[in-house]
């Protein structure tokens, strides 16, 4: 259930909200705030996934004879198709 919450944004963020509504992209301040919170949530999820991937990589151990430049070259060739 939705709950009203009072926050102090400051002039800069109030202007962003006002401009977003005036542009027609958003109908209300609530929509602008919800979109901002969705973006924060999305970023936090990406950070979590990246941290998990880093931890998995660290647990996988050290690779001997790894040439990072050679590896980047292979990746560039693979994805330039």
Report the pLDDT value the prediction gives residue 81, as an integer from 0 to 100: 63
pLDDT tens over the chain, length 81 residues: 788 889 999 999 999 999 999 999 999 999 999 999 999 999 999 999 999 999 999 999 888 888 999 999 999 999 986
Report the pLDDT value the prediction gives residue 63, as an integer from 0 to 100: 81
Helix (H) or strand (E) holding 66: none
pTM over 0.75? The answer is: no
Burial 25-48 (b: 16+ CB within 10 A, else e): ebeeeeebbeeeeeeeeeeeeeee
* Domain boundary assignment for the chain: 11-79
Report the pLDDT value the prediction gives residue 2, as an integer from 0 to 100: 82
- Tell me, what DSSP letter sits at residue 65? T
């Amino acid at each position: 259930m939705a709950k009203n919450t009072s926050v102090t944004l400051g002039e800069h963020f109030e202007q962003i909200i006002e401009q977003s509504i005036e542009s027609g992209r958003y109908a209300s301040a609530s929509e602008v705030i919800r979109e901002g919170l969705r973006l924060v949530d999305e970023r936090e999820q990406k950070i979590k996934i990246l941290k998990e991937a880093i931890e998995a990589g660290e647990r996988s151990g050290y690779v001997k004879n790894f040439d990072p430049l050679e590896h980047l070259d292979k990746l560039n060739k693979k994805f330039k198709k």
